[in-house]
Amino acid sequence: MVRLTRIYTRTGDKGKTSLGDGARVDKHALRVEAYGTVDEANAVLGLARLHAEAGEHAILARIQNDLFDLGADLCTPPAGDEQPGTRLRVVQSQVDRLEAEIDAANAKLAPLESFILPAGTPLAAHLHHARTVVRRAERLITALAGREPVNPVAVAYVNRLSDLLFVLARAANAGGAADVLWTPGANR
């Protein structure tokens, strides 16, 4: 367990931060940008939870915890000789759980007949916001993976998570009945 006795350390005052393996990098490094964006998504999910009912609240609470796992995974670059279980990494069972939750929630929704706008209930709007932040995190993580080692399961996790948030947003809009549909060219 992490124990924080002091919040400020002054070690980042010159634009550097420490990764989980102790390496010092620029605060604007792609790896830091990736896990910082995961943190941003987590904060948006905290807002969504303010509007969630018990079942949704439990799913979002699990996801928020997973996002801390993902941040820990991303902040510690995989080592070539790393033994399984020596570092906190996102694992396939977390991706599998997201897929099961997507399937369960989507089974209750009417098929899409149009693209939908990120709107509706307060919960749906926050979930759509979180989805877009997760998509940005995914773009950053895949860019990072093109340059440095990244746990491939982390990429799969954020990809599935954005899908789940989309389905949960539709569910929050009266099972999709209150989705706000896009009308192409409506304001020409």
What pLDDT is recorded for position 142?
Answer: 98
How many residues are given for the chain? 188
Q: What is the CATH number of the domain that holds 42?
A: 1.20.1200.10
What pLDDT is recorded for position 161?
Answer: 98
Domain that holds residue 157: 16-78+88-181
Cα–Cα distance for residue pair 119/142, rounded to 1 Å? 28
- CA neighbours within 13 Å on the CB side: how many for 177? 3
What pLDDT is recorded for position 14?
Answer: 86
Residue 159: which of 73, 99, 114 has the closest Cα?
A: 99
Task: Provide φ and ψ at 155, rounded to 5°.
Answer: -65, -45
Cα–Cα distance for residue pair 185/183, rounded to 1 Å? 6
Q: Residue 187 has which token pair?
A: 């304001």
Is 10 within a domain? no
What pLDDT is recorded for position 81?
Answer: 82
Cα–Cα distance for residue pair 55/61, rounded to 1 Å? 10
32, 25 Cβ separation under 8 angstroms: yes
Is 187 within a domain? no
Cα–Cα distance for residue pair 161/154, rounded to 1 Å? 10
What pLDDT is recorded for position 79?
Answer: 86
Is 63 within a domain? yes
Strands (E), 121-186: 180-181
Is 8 within a domain? no
What pLDDT is recorded for position 11?
Answer: 78
Three-state secondary structure call for residue 25 = strand
What pLDDT is recorded for position 83?
Answer: 81
Total number of domains constituting the chain: 1
Cα–Cα distance for residue pair 159/177, rounded to 1 Å? 25
Residue-by-residue pLDDT tens, the chain, 188 positions:
777 777 888 878 888 999 998 899 999 999 999 999 999 999 999 999 999 999 999 999 999 999 999 999 999 999 888 888 889 999 999 999 999 999 999 999 999 989 999 999 999 999 999 999 999 999 999 999 999 999 999 999 999 999 999 999 999 999 999 999 999 999 99
Is 41 within a domain? yes
**Alpha carbon separation from 21 to 10, 78, 151 (Å, rounded):** 19, 9, 15
Residue whose tokens read 């009266």: 174
Is 28 within a domain? yes
What pLDDT is recorded for position 92?
Answer: 97
Residue 92: which of 166, 1, 160 has the closest Cα?
A: 160
Is 1 within a domain? no
Is 62 within a domain? yes
Residue 117: which of 170, 73, 68, 168 has the closest Cα?
A: 170
